[in-house]
Structure 1
């Protein structure tokens, strides 16, 4: 009986196949583990120009914000002269140079109830936005079109800019100037300073401006909610 001799290469074939299979499995697992990185690199390469443009625009916006000039807040605004008795009751008020009754009142002397009512009625997001409300501005932009319904979009800061600089804001150009002025105010003044300016400039009918002239009494004792409803 003849003995069949199997070459050594043939005997080692199954072991070689197992080694190659294991190597393929390792390579596949390695490739899968780096797939997200390759995809990220691909996306970065594809949108590199877009990311570069966004970075440049962001840097330009930050630079423009930092370079905004400091505007005057209440400098140059005249206020009425007041005569009061020993109980702080108002006896006499003079007209300002522009024929207004405008009594200066600091924020700490204004009732918290009046401040809360003003914020709720005029600008409930005042303490959170940077001077403009983008959503309200978009709504107002449609209202400025011919035939569109005019809707209010001005924040308290924007109203201070309009009142302080006598801006016409019924046009796109006027609204743009108002926005720039509001950003300038927010850049250089605190929320409390801007709110104080608004409460001293807000019109209350005829030639009366500001809460001090509107109430004619110590404003820190006023409960304002009934008057604003």
Structure 2
């Protein structure tokens, strides 16, 4: 079981985020309790993000469980999601970012036992349009998308973001991953301050019972 956790906080040309560092640390601790081999990285530039993803893909193989978590700025355009590195210019395009669907395709090609992609990011930006990208993903990739203000509704510098606050409650449970994330979504729906601004979006094609607690 292998996990790559990326948290982008200190952007050069965009709003600074408070929670990614704390969120990455919290998830790293919990995933190690589930016997994941975890690589945690903070504040990556475009080349560094691409290199980290490439190295992560090399660790995946038949039957391996792969989990990738990203916290930071991002956006969605024409059905494709993009992760924004810290060195993206103020008027960035998809060429400055990493396409989630391309990463998912790489994970699928490794014939893994389970792929989980957790996107803890915005899915809109305030200007312009990006060019069309690649096809819709077909792998299980639970994701939470929201605007940056809702994402940052946390108490102080050392508090988790909304998604990880609720995810921590369930992550160690012996539940099918889709059931676990449904419970996270239900919990998030009870929070009045984010209602209508932040929600958990789940996409999955997982038919077997796969849990993060499974022995590999």
TM-score interval (norm. to shorter): under 0.3
- Between structure 1 and structure 2, the one with the greater Rg is 1
Q: Counting strand residues as a fraction of each chain, which structure ranks higher? A: 2
Q: Counting helix residues as a fraction of each chain, which structure ranks higher? A: 1
TM-score (norm 1): 0.25
